[in-house]
Every structure is written in structure tokens, then in C-alpha cells.
Amino acid sequence: MVYVVGVGPGSGLYLTRAAEEIIDKAQLLIGGTRNIEFIRTSLGLKEGQDTFVLGSDLASMMDQIEKNLDKDIVVLASGDPSIYGIADYINRTMSRQEDPATETNRIPSQRDSIQGKENLVIVPGISSIQYAFSVFKIPMNDLYITSSHGRQPDYDFIFMHDKLALVTDSKIGPRQIAQEVKDRGLDYSFYVGENLSYHNQRLTVGSADDILARDSYGMCLVILIRWRDKDEKQRIYSR
């Protein structure tokens, strides 16, 4: 069985009991260096538990899964695996059904043995988005979620929304988003969470100009809100 397990925003305090129990019984743990080390320090690795450090080559992960289908495999996902996480890729790959009419000359591969969703369980985790809205004390109602992590955002579509959260990376982060807001003359309030749930967590609230006043940011989640009226904005800022 393959389990894609969300390990939370970072701190071990936000690892769910369900995740702990599944990780504990895993025979093979797959994840990035940071996630493997997180489990090693938070829960400890048992004797006999194998690990596979995942890089950018997702095909190598699928090869490991195929070779170990007789084991309980846990793929570690930061935050929640279904929010711009790895769950969708694994689900699509494992569920792929190819049309024989178009594949008559294809040489069968080992991956063909992975069929359907019956071999996959997705275990939700606490996302950085959930965590950030909680610490900023803002309701998540009517929220649009997207990402600039490894992709070019569609700003024209994004800025059609009044409340949105963006998972960012080192190339497109708070400053770049603030510049796009400023260039369009939009009125958004920024809520930026850096290193969320870690000891060096930093929370910033302000305008696009406030965000641009700083030269750099760490690991970030950016929340943008276009308030419907001044009273609504004041209720949040005065908390």
C-alpha cells in the first residue's frame, strides 16, 4: 500500500496522530531531505525502515514505489499533500489507464502493474495556508488558493479574487507579487508568513509598499485580501 502523508507546515507539533501511526508502520519512507530529517528527529526511524531521498526526479520515486509494492510505503509531503503537493502526481500516475487501441506497439513496462486507486491512500495534513490564516486570525471563507512555486502565476486571473493565498518560492515571492499589485494600482492588504510554525517564524502585515520596503524574505506564504469596506479592514487590523 502507498500512503501519501501530509507532515504539516514544519514543526512536529502539527504532525497529526493519523500521520504518526502510518509513518510508524512504514517499511519504506520516501521524501525530500528536509522531510526525512524531520521524521528522523521528531519520531525517530525504526530499525528496518528504509528511506529514499527524493529530489526533482519524480520518475525515480515511481520506480521505488513499483519495486516495493509488497511493502507499506509512505511518501512524505510538506503541509497537506493535496494543496499543490505530490498526491495528484502519484494519483494520476498510479491510476493511468492506457487505451490498447493506441498502444498496440508499446512494450509493456513494470509501471503497468500499478492499476487503479485501490493501492493509494492520501492522509491529509495541516497546510501552511490553514496555519497562516489561524495565526493571522482571518477566516478562510471564499478563499482562492494558488501557487507561484515553480510556475508563472496568471496574475490577471489571480487578481479577479478578493481573498487569495499563494504558496511561493525563491523566484516569485512577496516582493514580486507586491510589485505586480503596485503596477496594477490594486488595493490589497498583504499578510506574509515566513518559516511558519518554526522557531524563527515571522509575520508581516502591510501594503504592497510595505512589502517592497524589505529586501528579502524566507520561505513564505502570501495572503492577499481586498477588503469590501473600511470597517471590515479595520476589524482585522485592530485585532
Contacts of 213 (CB under 8 A, 6+ apart): none
Instruction: Answer yes or no: are the C-beta atoms of 208 and 174 closer than 8 Å.
Output: no
CA-based nearest residue to 10, from 84, 74, 78, 86: 78
Question: Rounded CA gap, 239 and 187, in Å?
Answer: 20
pLDDT of residue 100: 45
CA 38 remoteness from chain centre: 16
Cell of residue 222, nine digits: 502570501
Question: Rounded CA gap, 189 and 208, in Å?
Answer: 7
**Max alpha carbon distance in the chain (Å)?**
67
SS3 (DSSP) at 202: strand
Cβ-count burial 63-89 (b if 16+ within 10 Å, e if not):
ebbbebeeebbbbbbbbbbbbbbbbee
Question: Rounded CA gap, 32 and 7, in Å?
Answer: 12
pLDDT of residue 227: 83
Which CATH homologous superfamily contains domain 128-237?
Tetrapyrrole methylase, C-terminal domain (3.30.950.10)
pLDDT of residue 231: 61
Q: What Rg do the C-alpha atoms of the chain give, in angstroms? A: 21
Pick the CATH number of 2-123 from 3.40.630.30, 2.40.50.100, 3.10.105.10, 3.40.1010.10: 3.40.1010.10
Per-residue pLDDT of the chain (239 residues; tens, 9 = 90+): 999 999 999 888 999 999 999 999 999 999 999 999 999 988 989 888 999 999 888 999 999 999 999 999 999 999 999 998 899 999 988 866 444 444 444 444 444 444 446 789 999 999 999 999 999 999 999 999 999 888 889 999 999 999 999 999 889 999 999 999 999 999 999 999 999 999 999 999 999 999 999 999 988 999 999 987 666 566 555 55
Question: Rounded CA gap, 2 and 69, in Å?
Answer: 8
Q: Which residue has the cell 513499483?
A: 66
Listed by start position, the domains of the chain span 2-123, 128-237
